């Protein structure tokens, strides 16, 4: 096997070696760029035996006596990249063939591949729901910081938005799809969403974990401003409304969209909240009381989650 030590200046120092392995360039490039981006040393390997590289243009490759395939096509001076495939470009003497991206398969939103949400992954969906439940659980168990109270009052019957096994039934694929119809245009503002009763929107420069950054920002209003009387008000600051949408007892589903807007240098994310009933002016955000003490008294009776704090079916 060929061990190649990867450094940040790989392309200059190892150009000849990369050209030798040009047939496996896509495999190498993918892994090398990932390593370089993390700024540390690592070794990777060509997946073909070294003798295969040595035996180029020979009759056998030394493996079972089968005929070898040439590593490259011989050419005269000035013919570098002359026979690159149509649609490719010549980069440092190599044929750079554009790859056709393939949309991920979803077990949560099974029709996503046929919509504007086709690039959203199930990992994104699970993270969005998981973070909402994390903050709701903090609230229910009395550990959510509130600037006016120190810690917000406990919630007696706050439902969990989803558990792993029921995620496909309670994540709002409809809201996600509706959001992505317009979010893809990178308008820099909240988009219309007829599939939800409330929405949270955030534009940020974070490209690695935009969902986590946005959701953390929406919840932070509780610690930064506080809601002393646990009431939703139409006159609330938008940041507090974002918190209320996440914490509201009547929130049943969440569905989110995300769009990377490269020309604008930002990522836009929006989550839609399916509520029953919709939250209204002066409504309590949630029922105060010992965590899970009133799960059984909900319109659809529930029990306490095994992780405690939230009500589950």
pLDDT in tens, 173-221: 999 999 999 999 999 999 999 999 999 999 999 777 888 999 999 999 9
| Mean of pLDDT values over 144-149 | 98
What confidence tier does 20 reach under pLDDT thresholds 50, 70, 90? Answer: very low
Count how many domains the chain has: 2
Selection from 275, 85, 286, 257 nearest residue 187 by Cα: 257
Q: What percentage of residues in the chain have a pLDDT greater than 90?
A: 59
pTM of the model: 0.71
Task: Please tell me whether residues 130 and 209 are part of one structural domain.
Answer: yes
Instruction: Please tell me whether residue 250 adopts helix, strand or coil conformation.
Output: coil
| Mean of pLDDT values over 292-298 | 96
pLDDT for residue 68: 59
Asked whether residue 102 is assigned to any structural domain, the reply reads: no
Which of 47, 72, 96 delimits the end of a domain? 96
pLDDT for residue 98: 81
Q: At what angle do helices 238-247 and 122-140 cross, to 10 degrees?
A: 90
Task: Please tell me whether residues 132 and 228 are part of one structural domain.
Answer: yes
In CATH, what number is assigned to the domain containing residue 245?
3.40.33.10
Convert 219-245 to b/e letters by CB count within 10 Å (16 or more is b): bebbeebbbeebebeeebeebbbbbbb
Alpha-carbon separation of residue 161 from 51, 85, 92, 270 (angstroms): 56, 50, 51, 17
More confident residue, 230 or 94: 230
Task: Please tell me whether residues 194 and 307 are part of one structural domain.
Answer: yes
pLDDT for residue 169: 58
Asked whether residue 226 is assigned to any structural domain, the reply reads: yes
Asked whether residue 235 is assigned to any structural domain, the reply reads: yes
Selection from 108, 258, 128 nearest residue 173 by Cα: 108
Label residue 89 exposed, middle or buried (CB < 10 Å: 0-12, 13-18, 19+): exposed
What confidence tier does 238 reach under pLDDT thresholds 50, 70, 90? Answer: very high
Look up tokens 């020979």; give the residue: 58
What confidence tier does 166 reach under pLDDT thresholds 50, 70, 90? Answer: low
- How confident is the model over 119-143, as pLDDT tens digits? 999 999 999 999 999 999 999 999 9
Task: Please tell me whether residues 54 and 154 are part of one structural domain.
Answer: no
Task: Please tell me whether residues 203 and 283 are part of one structural domain.
Answer: yes
- The domain containing residue 21 runs over which residues? 3-96
What confidence tier does 69 reach under pLDDT thresholds 50, 70, 90? Answer: low
Mean pLDDT of the chain: 81
* pLDDT surpassing 70 at residue 89: yes
Asked whether residue 104 is assigned to any structural domain, the reply reads: no
Whether omega for the bond prior to residue 277 falls within 30 degrees of 0, making it cis, is yes
- Which of 46-50, 210-214, 294-298: highest mean pLDDT? 294-298
Contact between residue 192 and residue 175 where contact means Cβ atoms under 8 Å apart: no
pLDDT for residue 134: 96
What confidence tier does 82 reach under pLDDT thresholds 50, 70, 90? Answer: confident
Which of 96, 123, 149 delimits the end of a domain? 96
């Amino acid at each position: 096997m060929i061990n190649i030590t990867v450094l940040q200046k790989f392309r200059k120092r190892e150009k000849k070696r990369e050209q030798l392995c040009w047939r496996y360039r896509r495999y190498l490039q993918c892994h090398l760029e990932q390593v370089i981006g993390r700024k540390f040393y690592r070794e990777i390997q060509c997946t073909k035996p070294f003798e295969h590289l040595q035996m180029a243009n020979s009759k056998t490759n030394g493996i079972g006596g089968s005929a070898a395939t040439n590593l490259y096509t011989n050419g005269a001076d000035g013919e570098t990249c002359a026979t690159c495939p149509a649609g490719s470009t010549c980069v440092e003497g190599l044929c750079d063939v554009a790859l056709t991206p393939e949309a991920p398969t979803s077990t949560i939103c099974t029709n996503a591949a046929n919509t504007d949400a086709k690039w959203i992954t199930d990992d994104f969906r699970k993270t969005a729901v998981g973070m909402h439940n994390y903050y709701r659980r903090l609230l229910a168990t009395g550990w959510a910081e509130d600037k006016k109270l120190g810690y917000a009052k406990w919630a007696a019957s706050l439902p969990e938005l989803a558990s792993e096994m029921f995620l496909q039934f309670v994540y709002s694929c409809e809201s996600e799809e509706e959001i992505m119809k317009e979010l893809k245009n990178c308008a820099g503002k909240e988009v219309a969403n007829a599939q939800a009763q409330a929405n949270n929107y955030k534009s940020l420069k974070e490209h690695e974990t935009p969902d986590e950054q946005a959701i953390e920002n929406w919840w932070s209003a509780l610690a930064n401003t506080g809601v002393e009387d646990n009431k939703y008000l139409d006159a609330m600051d938008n940041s507090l409304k974002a918190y209320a949408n996440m914490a509201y007892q009547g929130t049943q589903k969440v569905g989110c969209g995300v769009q990377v807007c490269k020309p604008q240098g930002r990522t836009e994310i929006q989550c839609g909240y399916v509520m029953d009933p919709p939250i209204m002016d002066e409504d309590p955000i949630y029922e105060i009381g010992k965590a899970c003490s009133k799960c059984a008294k909900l319109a659809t009776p529930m029990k306490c989650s095994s992780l405690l704090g939230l009500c589950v079916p």
